[in-house]
Amino acid sequence: MGQTFEWEGREVAGVQVRHPVSDTAALVMLWANQYYQHNPLIMAYLQRLDLESGRSLFEHYNGICPWYSEVIINRKHFISNTVKSMVNSTRGKVTILNLGAGFSPLALELSDLLTPNCLFIEIDENGMDQKQALYPDLVPDRCGFISSIKADITDGPSLEHALSHDNAGHLIVIMEGLTYYISREGMDGVLSNLSGIAREQSIVFEHLKPCRLIREERRSIPGRIFSHVRDYTSLDRMTTYSEGEIRAILPAGFTCSYYDMDEMEKRRTGACTYFATPDSGWLSVSVAVRD
């Protein structure tokens, strides 16, 4: 008798069926595995995904920097806690918008916050139908507050259509692992389109720093890894931003706070072990707010 398979990564007839994930998305989740170990909900989600496509990249980049997972975990911890703080300090409706979400489990990480007054929308060109199908099993009481929408975030009409269904309230936009893949012109368009959707808006803008702002003895780590990512993904270049360049690209009315990797590590661990100074890291986060 043949084996029987079902979707959603459940074990059926002794066989675990898992959703395939792109290699670069799987890479990030492999790096973040230690961060998710203490979250049973996210671990259950990861069990439904096939991350093997990212294994070779994971091993290659760990050969360049064995502790690179610290970068990803610091970033994820900082972004999650920043969004939680924003939601908890907002009176009234909140919409959390994760752009270029891929298979990121951020909606699950923040699921305790979700209510009819706090919605989570994630947008990407791939994987959204699969994710939406998983949520009823994982968070049956919160899945109605999560919308996974297939759209091109750099296409203005598509982005506006995806967000036009309701009043957003305080719109919290998350750009994690995204900005280095979009040109300056493309990002200018994304920010311009978002600006008209909600007056009260916050943007968590994670980005790659220019080489000149990274300590010389550290430059080879992001240089080797991101040049490989650039070639592997067939991009002409990876987009970088300084603090001043981010302030310049933001629409009018935003105030901006800037956080380097040393600050993110200190907030997570209480010490600066791998990142002693602001210029020892290469990924930073700008938090822009317009009241």
Write out pLDDT tens, residues 185-228.
999 999 999 998 889 999 999 999 999 999 999 999 999 999 99
Residue that the structure tokens 């595995």 belong to? 33
**Helical H segments across 101-236, by residue range:** 106-109, 128-138, 156-162, 184-195, 220-232
At residue 155, the pLDDT reads 87
Model confidence at 232: pLDDT above 90: yes
172 pLDDT above the threshold of 70: yes
- Which helix (H) or strand (E) segment holds residue 122: the answer is strand 118-124
Q: Which residues contact 113 (CB under 8 A, 6 or more apart)?
A: 84, 87, 88, 96
User: If you ran DSSP here, which 8-state letter would residue 127 be given?
Assistant: S
Residue range 130-152: mean pLDDT, rounded: 96
Hey, what's the torsion of the CAs at 121, 123, 127, 131, to 10 degrees?
Answer: 0
Is pTM, for the whole model, over 0.85? yes
Residue range 243-261: mean pLDDT, rounded: 96
User: Tokens for 217?
Assistant: 């003895």
Cα dihedral across residues 226, 231, 233, 238: positive or negative: positive
Share of the chain above pLDDT 70, in %: 94
User: Tokens representing 264?
Assistant: 């993110």
- In this predicted model, what pLDDT tens digit does every residue of 25-78 receive, in sequence order? 999 999 999 999 999 999 999 999 999 999 999 999 999 999 999 999 999 999
How many Cβ atoms sit within 10 Å of the Cβ of residue 282? 25
Where do we find the tokens 């907002």?
90
> What mean pLDDT, rounded, does the chain reach?
92
pLDDT in tens, 85-116: 999 999 999 999 999 999 999 999 999 999 99
- In whole angstroms, what is the distance from residue 99 CA to residue 91 CA? 24
Residue pair 29/49 in contact by the 8 Å Cβ criterion: yes
Helices (H) and strands (E) in the chain, counts: 12, 11
What average pLDDT does this structure show over 246-268?
A: 97
| Token pair in block for residue 256 | 């901006």
CB atoms within 10 A of CB 167: 10
CATH no. of 69-290? 3.40.50.150
CA pseudo-torsion sign 231, 98, 31, 256: positive
Q: List the one residue out of 201, 200, 288 whose CA is nearest residue 243.
A: 288
